[in-house]
Structure 1
Amino acid sequence: MSTIFLESKDNPKIKHLRGLILQASYRRKQRQTVLEGTHLCLAWLAQEHRIHSLFSTEKALEDPELQQVIEAYQGHIFIVSEAQYRDLSTLGTTLPCLAIIDLPQVDAGIDYTVDTLILENIQDPGNVGTLLRSAAAAGIQQVIATSGTAALWSPRVLRAGMGAHFSVRCFENYEIDQILPNFKIPLYATSSHHATSIYQQDLSAACAWILGNEGQGVSESALQHAQAVTIPQPGGQESLNVAIAGSVCFFEMVRQRQ
């Protein structure tokens, strides 16, 4: 294990790390992002992917979980002070572990015939990450995010996804009208207006799910291409959180296919 101490916040490696954490445009330009926490790093390494750079604190080096990451990484570990790490971290309470990785290359384009999740202008990173996690668990193969959706590869979305990104194909920055006409499978959009119950749909074959903005829901444009569905709520609540609603839909699909 080789350690390199970085004392200045103006060190080029620290500035590069901070840029990846804070700026979606910088992540796109560099084709890199940051994993925070040992769980994500181990999930990434388990897929036989490579960590480009690893950052931690001197105090954390003896932790058994971090040791697992270090053993699989086998590169230089850049050591920052506790104060520097707190300044960089998006979580604050996790074991100090920040890893720079190259964004995965998607070899082929969008497949318009397989189970798909479409995120239309969902802005909360926690909701986006949770939806990716549920989609991956339900066997959905690809996720498409519109340009108004929280960046899929941001550290906060990655953290909420808990490794789901590594088992689905991710596409970003599409316009809804650009993709929906191309689908050759049923499209379903969650909506509380003019919708039929999710439990009345035949979900036994491949389909695509459109989930919309937390406040405004899916757009009228999306509804023109999709069957609007709703989740019955006998308790009388106005609506469900979008991540909860999506998860219910995905696992009704799973139930029907069992």
Structure 2
Amino acid sequence: MSTIFLESKDNPKIKHLRGLIEQNSYRKKQGQTVLEGTHLCLAWLQENRRINSIFTTEHALAHPDFEEILKTYTGHIFIIGESLYKDLSTLGTTLACLAVIDLPSSSQALKFDADTLILENVQDPGNVGTLLRSAAAAGIKQVVCTKGSASLWSPRVLRAGMGAHFSLHTFENIALEDILPRFEIPVYVTSSHRSASLYSKDLSKACAWILGNEGQGVSEYALENAEAVVIPQPGGQESLNVAIAGSICFFEMVRQRL
């Protein structure tokens, strides 16, 4: 391990780090992203994945969490000032740790007979990360995102996913029209305006779930080419948050399979 002090915000390494944090196009061009926080770094290392470099502060480097990281990580650690770190961080409250990693490439093709989560234009990073976390917990192994959804490997989505990404096969910028006709299993779409209850469905075998945009919901194409279900809401609310709705669906599936 080598420790290098960086002071200027104009340092090329700092500019590279900022670009990865703030710009999806830059992440794609460089083939890299950023894990923020020691929890994500440790989870990544536990999967025997490689970290390219770590940016932190002198104060944070003395924390016990870093002792755990340094048992595995042997690369460069760049030390920056507290104010510069706060300027870069999307969190501001966790132990200072920004790790640059290579974007993983999917090693397998999309399976059309396996449990699948499909996100159609879900834009809020917190919702996307929460859905990935719930899907992983429910045993769903593959996630598909259409163009317009939040970037799965952005620092904010990674943070909300709390490490769920690392056990999932993810596919981005996929058109629904290209995949829906190919599924060999039931495909369900959540809609607050349809009458078929979620709890009336047999979810004991593999199925796919389409969850739509926070404001507009799913597209007409999804409604026409999938089986719409509604989550009963005796309290009379107009709709549920998409991450909560998805989690309810996933764990009704789990309940039926136990």
Q: Give the whole-Å Cα distance in 2 for the aligned partners of 1:186 and 1:177.
A: 16
Describe the SS at the equivalent of 2:173.
strand
Matching residue's letter, 2:198 = I
Matched ranges for 1:1-80 at <5 A: 1-80=1-80
Cα displacement string for residues 17-75 of structure 1 (whole angstroms, at most 9, x for unaligned residues): 11110011111111111000000000000100010111100111110012211221111
Matching residue's letter, 1:46 = Q
Q: Give the whole-Å Cα distance in 1 for the aligned partners of 2:116 and 2:76.
A: 39
Q: Give the whole-Å Cα distance in 2 for the aligned partners of 1:189 and 1:116.
A: 12
Describe the SS at the equivalent of 2:172.
strand
Query: Is the counterpart of residue 155 in structure 1 residue 192 in structure 2?
Result: no
5+ residue gaps, structure 1, are none
Q: How many pairs align?
A: 258
Query: Is the counterpart of residue 90 in structure 1 residue 90 in structure 2?
Result: yes
Describe the SS at the equivalent of 1:40.
helix
Describe the SS at the equivalent of 1:77.
strand
Residue number in structure 1 paired with 2:253: 253
Q: Give the whole-Å Cα distance in 2 for the aligned partners of 1:27 and 1:109.
A: 23
Query: Is the counterpart of residue 119 in structure 1 residue 111 in structure 2?
Result: no
Matching residue's letter, 1:222 = A
Q: Give the whole-Å Cα distance in 1 for the aligned partners of 2:11 and 2:178.
A: 42
Please say which of residues 125-134 and 11-20 is displaced more in the overlay.
11-20
Describe the SS at the equivalent of 1:252.
helix
Describe the SS at the equivalent of 2:51.
coil
C-alpha deviation, 1:78, in angstroms: 0.5
Residue number in structure 2 paired with 1:173: 173
Q: Give the whole-Å Cα distance in 2 for the aligned partners of 1:100 and 1:212.
A: 31
TM-score, normalised relative to structure 2: 0.98
Describe the SS at the equivalent of 1:209.
strand
Residue number in structure 2 paired with 1:224: 224
Residue number in structure 2 paired with 1:205: 205
Q: Give the whole-Å Cα distance in 1 for the aligned partners of 2:236 and 2:174.
A: 35
Q: Give the whole-Å Cα distance in 1 for the aligned partners of 2:105 and 2:76.
A: 25
Q: Give the whole-Å Cα distance in 1 for the aligned partners of 2:140 and 2:206.
A: 9
Matching residue's letter, 1:203 = L
Residue number in structure 2 paired with 1:240: 240
Matching residue's letter, 2:89 = S
Matching residue's letter, 1:165 = H
Q: Give the whole-Å Cα distance in 2 for the aligned partners of 1:24 and 1:76.
A: 24
Describe the SS at the equivalent of 1:4.
strand
Describe the SS at the equivalent of 1:243.
helix
C-alpha deviation, 1:246, in angstroms: 0.2
Describe the SS at the equivalent of 2:72.
helix
C-alpha deviation, 1:184, in angstroms: 1.0
C-alpha deviation, 1:195, in angstroms: 3.5
Residue number in structure 1 paired with 2:141: 141
Q: Give the whole-Å Cα distance in 1 for the aligned partners of 2:133 and 2:209.
A: 15
Query: Is the counterpart of residue 182 in structure 1 residue 192 in structure 2?
Result: no
Query: Is the counterpart of residue 105 in structure 1 residue 138 in structure 2?
Result: no
5+ residue gaps, structure 2, are none
Q: Supply the RMSD in Å over aligned alpha carbons.
A: 0.8
Q: Give the whole-Å Cα distance in 2 for the aligned partners of 1:53 and 1:232.
A: 48
TM-score, normalised relative to structure 1: 0.98
Describe the SS at the equivalent of 2:158.
helix
Matching residue's letter, 1:103 = L
